[in-house]
Every structure is written in structure tokens, then in C-alpha cells.
Amino acid sequence: MAVSNAVGGSGGRGPTTGPWRNWAGNVTARPTRSAAPASTEELAAAIRTAAADGLTVKAVGTGHSFTPVAATDGLLIRPERLTGVRTVDREAGTVTVAAGTPLKHLNATLAAHGLSLTNMGDIMEQTVSGAAATGTHGTGRDSASVAAQITALELVTADGSVLACSADENQEVFTAARLGLGALGVISELTFAVEPEFLLTAREEPMPFDEVTDRFDELVAENEHFEFYWFPHTGSCNTKRNNRSQGPAAPPGKVSGWIEDELLSNGIFQLACTVGRAVPAAIPGIAKISSRALSARTYTDIPYKVFTSPRRVRFLEMEYALPRAAAVAALGELKALVERSDFKVSFPVEVRTAPADDLPLSTASGRDTVYVAVHMYRGTPHQAYFAAAERIMTAHEGRPHWGKLHTCDAAYLADVYPRFGEFTALRDRLDPERRFTNPYLRRVLGD
């Protein structure tokens, strides 16, 4: 969801807050007041008070949504006190965690217990509830998104009631609320399936665009986690294959790891983007130099140290989930678009996969999926490039990532999500007065 730099009280009736902004700086909201509850009881009380005062309610996390999915002019629920791992059940293979806990804290705690999530996205700054609610995902042949790994949750609804939800209790709510956009209520805690910690061997390797796309089905089938980045204005990609390993652990060296993950991926890349923003004509040349600088490397480490990486260069992003069979054609169209246009694109295009899942609003709901993400450096014109890319994606029945820029509305989304009506009917039942709405949800879910 979004970053909290508002100030205000921690109870039900906090003082008026200042403006709130997300991580990328493209979303600003001015809530009437904020609350930072430290318990489910305090959260429920804050929602009841907001309802009595006629305020809408939205919960925010740490700011990594590019859409205003968490923005409100009513009551802003901040995450910083609703944190911590509550229980670790090794026998059941689960961990229960407060909703505002950052993923980086969850991962560190799990590692201390010799446990791990099966799959995760590539950043760890998000809160667990924000990541789940917007459909955060990594890449996986068999393992799915953050939300798909949830086995139980606690939801505070519009009247302040607290629902315990799982496959055995309030099952319909559980099915939808794991990825609920904050539209059904505010989640106070989540239980995730975990497993004994394992090792992953990462193999990173440059590969020509034509070879990656020709071999795409093979590369996905042969690897537990496959992804690649294509550098626009070039025919070059960087591929990454993560597979379970018997070990031993062989993490990147301190110096070589710093060069790859900090100096090149953040420091030099930041400089290149800054130059490109000032002199757009230089971007294709910079892209060719950057792609030629890629080198192969292999390392083995615990999962979160392989799946995740620091992201210090700020950008805007749009991502679409495509039917797997449509992905290679769509990528070819995107490459042709860049080649024939005047767009100057300094950020690589990221391509990942996911298996079908059973969450009504999951971008992988009911179909094997390929994700195609386009980015632009913050402060550079992005609208025309994103709009042209979006036309390609929607022509292939793409589903936009809920936390990333797009222009889709409820009419389009109802056509590409077979269970869309199931979700909106549940929303009508749980929140008939639209306590948890905002302009973004009115656009994507309807009123």
C-alpha cells in the first residue's frame, strides 16, 4: 500500500493530519485525521468512531503502490504500531503476524527460526497486509503470490466487528479478503504457510531477446523461478533462474555483491537515469552500454536473500498479467512499439510468471500467468509510453496490477475476471455504506 509520513494521534480521534505521499511521490492525500492502532481492539474502535463521524477509512502501509488504492480524505490507518510476529507454529507450518509488519522483519524473524515463505516479491519494504491486498508477487512455476500463501486472517469490518477467517471459518470472506484491495475491511493480522528454510541457487546470465522469447516455455518449465529483464533500445536481456539447492551456501562476496547490487543496480543506474532525464536522446546509447556491461554470476543463499534486492532508484510502474500463451506475442509487440516510436525508455522491462490460483481478484485467478512490467524514471514523461503499452496488454485480455498505474475501470475488469461479481457482491454485504471506498475503488470496482 502506501508510505505513512502523516502525523497524528494513535487512538480513534486523532488531530488533523498533514498531507500523505506514497513512495514514488505521485500520490498525495489529505486525510481528516489519522490513527496508529496497536491492537485489533484499538483498530476496531477507530473504525467505529470514524463511522459515527461519517468518515471513510483506508489503511496504508509503506508506500509501494503507484495507484491511490490507499488514499483517503477520511481516517487514515497507519501501520507502525500494529506490528510483530504473534505466533510461530512449526508443527502446523504457519506464522501469524500483525498486519503492519514489514516483510523485511517477517523474513528476518522466520530466518531466525529456520523457516521461510515459499515465494516472495523482489522488495521487502512493504507491510504484509499491503503486499497481500494489492497482489504483490514474485515469479514461480509452481508457487504463487504473497496472498496465495495466507492460511487465515483477521478482518475488522465496517461496523467494527472482528471476523476470524480461514478455509474453515467465514470461508467466503477468507477467499476474497486475502487479496481485497482494502475494500472489505481492514486486516489486523495474517497467518502464512511457511516451510523449513531452504537454499536457492541463483544463476544470472545475459541472453539475447530472441533466444529468451524462443525458449521462454522451456525456461519456465525447467526452473522453479524464472524471470528476465529486457533493455529497451537493445536486443539484450538479463535472465535469472532460481532453483532449490542442497548447498552449501555460497552468497555473493561482499565486494562483488556490492558492485552488482549497489554500485551498478542503484548507483550507476541512478546516474544513468538522471543523465537520460536531462538528455533523452542519450538513453538508447546508455541502454546499449548498460546491456553490454552485464555479466553472468551464480550464488547460493537463503530464500529472501535471493528473491529480494534493494530498490533505491525511484520510478513509476505499470504491470499487466497476461495469459501465459499470449506473453511472447505481447512482448514482441512491445519491442516493435519501442523500435518504431520516439519513446526513450531508460528502465528495463521485467517479465515474471505465476501459476493459476483461486483468489477472485488475483491477477493470476484461474489462469497461468506471465507478468510484463514497464517502468519510467521518476520525473520523466511516462504517460504516452504507458498508454501505448497498455493498449497492447488489454488487447491480450491483460489484468492490471492493482497497485501499479493503469486506466482500467470496472466494466473492463468485470470482463477479464470471471469471479469479479462474486467479489463485488461480498463487498455489498460487508460494506454497503462504502466505509472503505475511495475514488480509485469506485473506478475499479464500481459503486
More confident residue, 176 or 287: 176
Residue range 67-93: mean pLDDT, rounded: 97
pLDDT tens, 391-439? Answer: 999 999 999 999 999 999 999 999 999 999 999 999 999 999 999 999 9
- Report the alpha-carbon distance of residue 218 to residue 283 in Å, rounded: 32
- Report the alpha-carbon distance of residue 164 to residue 154 in Å, rounded: 5
Q: Which residue has the cell 542442497?
A: 246
Residue 294 has what pLDDT? 73
pLDDT at 4 over 50: no
Evaluate whether 121 touches 198 at the Cβ level (below 8 Å): no
DSSP 260-295: IIIIIIIIIHHHHHHHHHH-GGGHHHHHHHHHHT--
Q: Which residue has the cell 510502474?
A: 317
Residue range 216-242: mean pLDDT, rounded: 97
pLDDT at 35 over 60: yes
| Residue 111 neighbours by CB distance under 10 Å | 15
Least confident of 12-21, 149-158, 181-190, 221-230: 12-21
Residue 314 has what pLDDT? 87
- Report the alpha-carbon distance of residue 298 to residue 306 in Å, rounded: 11
Phi-psi group of 379: left, alpha or beta (phi > 0 → left; psi -120 to 50 → alpha; rest → beta): left
- pTM of the complete model beyond 0.75: yes
Residue 283 has what pLDDT? 87
pLDDT at 44 over 60: yes
pLDDT tens, 328-380? Answer: 999 999 999 999 999 999 999 999 999 999 999 999 999 999 999 999 998 99
- Report the alpha-carbon distance of residue 285 to residue 40 in Å, rounded: 54
pLDDT tens, 294-314? Answer: 779 999 999 999 999 877 788
Residue 257 has what pLDDT? 56
DSSP 312-349: -S-EEEEEEEEEGGGHHHHHHHHHHHHHHS-----SPE
pLDDT at 279 over 90: no
pLDDT tens, 135-153? Answer: 999 999 999 999 999 999 9
pLDDT at 72 over 50: yes
Evaluate whether 57 touches 123 at the Cβ level (below 8 Å): no
CA distances from 433 to 185, 409, 426 (A): 12, 21, 13
Grid cell digits, residue 315: 520510478
Residue 261 has what pLDDT? 60
Least confident of 6-10, 122-126, 286-290, 350-354: 6-10
- Report the alpha-carbon distance of residue 220 to residue 227 in Å, rounded: 8
User: Percent of the chain having pLDDT more than 90?
Assistant: 82
Banded pLDDT at 1 (limits 50, 70, 90)? very low
Terminal-to-terminal C-alpha distance of the chain: 21
Grid cell digits, residue 216: 521462454
Residue 179 has what pLDDT? 98
- Report the alpha-carbon distance of residue 381 to residue 372 in Å, rounded: 20
Evaluate whether 242 touches 307 at the Cβ level (below 8 Å): yes
Residue 17 has what pLDDT? 64
Banded pLDDT at 97 (limits 50, 70, 90)? very high
Query: Which DSSP state fits 13?
Result: S
Residue range 206-211: mean pLDDT, rounded: 97
- Report the alpha-carbon distance of residue 30 to residue 431 in Å, rounded: 23
CA distances from 196 to 90, 116, 284, 303, 430 (A): 9, 6, 45, 11, 37
Residue range 259-281: mean pLDDT, rounded: 69
Evaluate whether 75 touches 438 at the Cβ level (below 8 Å): no
pLDDT at 264 over 60: no
